C-alpha cells in the first residue's frame, strides 16, 4: 500500500512538473515569440517534446528501479496520476497562453494575411 502511494505521488509530481517547465519557457520567451523569432520557437518545440518524453521515461525507469511489474495496478495508478496532473497543468497553461495571445493581438489571423501580402 505504501509503495502504491509513493508511485501515485511520483506520477503526480512528474505530471505536474512538465506543464510547470513549459510555463517557465512560455513566460520567459514571450517577447521573442511575439516578434516571431523562429530560433526560439524551434528551441521551444524541442524543449517541449524533450521534457514530455523525458519525464515519462524517468517515471517508467523509476518504476523499474522499484521492481514494479509491467501491467500491474501500481503502475497503472502511477500513470493515471501522471495523466491527471499533466492534463490539469496543461489546461491551466493553455488558458493562460490563450489569454496572453489575445492581450497582445497574436490571436488575430488577419495579421498573418497582412504579413504574407507584404512579401
Q: What is the pTM of this model?
A: 0.83
pLDDT in tens, 42-92: 999 999 999 999 999 999 999 999 999 888 999 999 999 999 999 999 999
Distance CA 11, CA 7 (A): 6
Grouping H, G, I as helix, E, B as strand and the rest as coil, residue 29 is coil
Cell of 25: 519557457
pLDDT in tens, 52-63: 999 999 999 999
Cell of 50: 524533450
Q: Could you tell me what percentage of the chain is helix, strand and coil, using 3-state DSSP and rounding each to the nearest 5?
A: 85, 0, 15
Amino acid at each position: 500500500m505504501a509503495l502504491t502511494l509513493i508511485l501515485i505521488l511520483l506520477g503526480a509530481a512528474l505530471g505536474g512538473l512538465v506543464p510547470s517547465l513549459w510555463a517557465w519557457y512560455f513566460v520567459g520567451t514571450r517577447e521573442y515569440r511575439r516578434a516571431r523569432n523562429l530560433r526560439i520557437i524551434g528551441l521551444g518545440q524541442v524543449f517541449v517534446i524533450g521534457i514530455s518524453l523525458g519525464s515519462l521515461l524517468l517515471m517508467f525507469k523509476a518504476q523499474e528501479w522499484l521492481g514494479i511489474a509491467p501491467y500491474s495496478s501500481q503502475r497503472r495508478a502511477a500513470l493515471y496520476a501522471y495523466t491527471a496532473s499533466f492534463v490539469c497543468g496543461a489546461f491551466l497553461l493553455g488558458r493562460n497562453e490563450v489569454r496572453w495571445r489575445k492581450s497582445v493581438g497574436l490571436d488575430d489571423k488577419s495579421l498573418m494575411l497582412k504579413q504574407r501580402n507584404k512579401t
